[in-house]
Amino acid sequence: MAYSVARATLGLTEPKKIDPPKISFAAKEIDLVEWKGDLLAVGVTERDMAKDENSKFKNLILQKLDSHLRGLLSEASSEEDFTGKCGQSIVLRLPGLGSKRVSLIGLELAAARVIYRSFGEAVSTAAKSVQASSVAITLASLEGIPAELKLSAASAIATGDVLGTFDDNRFKSESKQPALKSVDILGLGSGPELEKKLKYAGDVCSGIIFGKELVNAPANVLTPGVLADEASRIASEYSDVLSAKILDVEQCKELKMGSYLGVAAASANPPHFIHLCYKPPSGEVKTKLALVGKGLTFDSGGYNIKTGPGCSIEFMKFDMGGSAAVLGAAKALGQIKPAGVEVHFIVAACENMISGTGMRPGDIVTASNGKTIEVNNTDAEGRLTLADALVYACNQGVNKIVDLATLTGACVVALGPSIAGIFTPSDELANEVLGASEASGEKLWRMPMEESYWESMKSGVADMVNTGGRQGGAINAALFLKQFVDEKVQWMHIDMAGPVWDDKNKTATGFGVSTMVEWVLKSSS
């Protein structure tokens, strides 16, 4: 499918084609001292590192390793001052085992999915440091872990390992391919149930990596047209279950999307309205869901231009993080193929720029449900695009909608950089999505929908303004979006402005993909 602006040539930048890490996982029940390969990684807690009066490990697995190494493990860990504290790790080259090296990696005592995922990421860091191509992973404390928890621990470790191995080097002049090719998970079970869990982890990781690549791509490469191309490519890759419809400006005008088109009007790159639809390969559809993602491939702020320190204009390529989560979930679900559920993935993609054709402060735009909006701030543009996307989603006959958006700085002030705020009038939907986030390890916090705050959103000349006062900004934004959702449809808004970006590592996180996939799967069953 060709678009009027297929790829921006600004800066002559083209991303290199880099394949995501291909790691084969196997679950094995073999003696870890007999395992042969490059690196044996053992997850330990401070309790596991306890020693008796003879400086011997009390933990049976560490005891066994140490006796094969004639006490060298105990000696080396003491010399390195390794106590098993969370975040600590050592890699040792010791003779006497099948593996060339042993790594001890500190874990928290709590047995939570997020901890096992972090452990998997730490293993990938250790593997990179020694260019290991084959790795075995085990936990020092396996007694007492129930079978179901072992399954989810193995899946979380595999997820962390794949995501930790992935480096987005598409825009670097020189880049290394990761050496890691195979991972054996020891002592956490084996058989078809575990293999299914590991396949699921791989499918979700491919969606997260795709989402990360979309957010990391700069705005001179990822235009609205290119985002639409990427969405169409996913649909053709999984054409047995996914179909794509891309609407151009004229088709959006026919649907009266004045709110979305008002935002898009200033850019030389035309808007593209993306609609992917997942239908199960067989069987009856019991529920219809929609995932709506904010898709601002760049946000200058418009005439209310982002200026001054802390305005983050240089990060505004990530203002399409919601659409990345939605399309990443589509990619994962295209591989998982859940039964009984139909899912609509909707993105109103555009740029918020400045030009003589652009929207001005004080303009009034009319959304596709007929409601009028006085634009008192052109930098509150995401909600204007989502307004028409939400109306469109309701018109697909769905039962439930979740929208994901990097919507407000106010939500980052309230919840910090690693927690997304969720807003919904539905307790049922809140419980479903919070349950999915517990399984995925992503952090969400339910915020109030304080109806009395709507007073600040009233206009003297239109139905509403697009921003209220400074106080309660994330709540006002959610109340605005609610005006465009059919009362019969359960709806949730996720403000993910904080967790979309990892400031320490200067990269996208892929936030939202795994929670949305978990939610769709729970809805399908």
- The neighbour count for residue 525, using CB atoms within 10 Å, is 9
What does pTM read for this prediction? 0.95
Write down the pLDDT at residue 476: 98
Closest CA to 323 of 209, 228, 239, 416: 228
Q: What are phi and psi of 42, to 5 degrees?
A: -120, 125
Give the pLDDT band (50/70/90) at residue 146. Answer: confident
Give the pLDDT band (50/70/90) at residue 2. Answer: very low
Percent of the chain with pLDDT over 90: 84
- Report yes or no: 359 and 266 within 8 Å, Cβ to Cβ: yes
CA distance 34 to 43: 18
Residue range 33-56, pLDDT digits in tens: 999 999 999 999 999 999 998 889
Place of tokens 């009856």: 284
DSSP string, 318-334: GGGHHHHHHHHHHHHHH
Inter-axis angle of helices 192-216 and 321-336, to 10 degrees? 150
- Report yes or no: 160 and 120 within 8 Å, Cβ to Cβ: yes
Residue range 391-447, pLDDT digits in tens: 999 999 999 999 999 999 999 999 999 999 999 999 999 999 999 999 999 999 999
Instruction: Give the contacts of 356 (CB within 8 A, at least 6 positions apart).
Output: none
Residue 479: CA count within 13 A, CB half-sphere: 21
The distance from CA 306 to its chain's CA centroid, rounded to whole angstroms, is 26
Place of tokens 């901890």: 115
> Of these residues, 117, 150, 317, 383, which one is catalytic?
383
> Of these residues, 51, 85, 306, 446, which one is catalytic?
306
DSSP string, 262-321: HHHTT-SS--EEEEEEE--SSS---EEEEEEEEEEEEE--TTS---STT--GGGGGGGGH
Q: Read off the tokens for 404.
A: 């994901």
Residue 288 annotated among the catalytic residues of the structure? no
Question: In the chain, what are the domains?
Answer: 24-194 (3.40.220.10), 206-524 (3.40.630.10)
pLDDT for residue 159 is more than 60: yes
Q: Read off the tokens for 21.
A: 């890490």
pLDDT for residue 156 is more than 80: yes
- Report yes or no: 158 and 514 within 8 Å, Cβ to Cβ: no
pLDDT for residue 224 is more than 70: yes
Residue 383 annotated among the catalytic residues of the structure? yes
Q: Read off the tokens for 460.
A: 């003297």
Closest CA to 371 of 464, 468, 456, 466: 464
Give the pLDDT band (50/70/90) at residue 3. Answer: very low
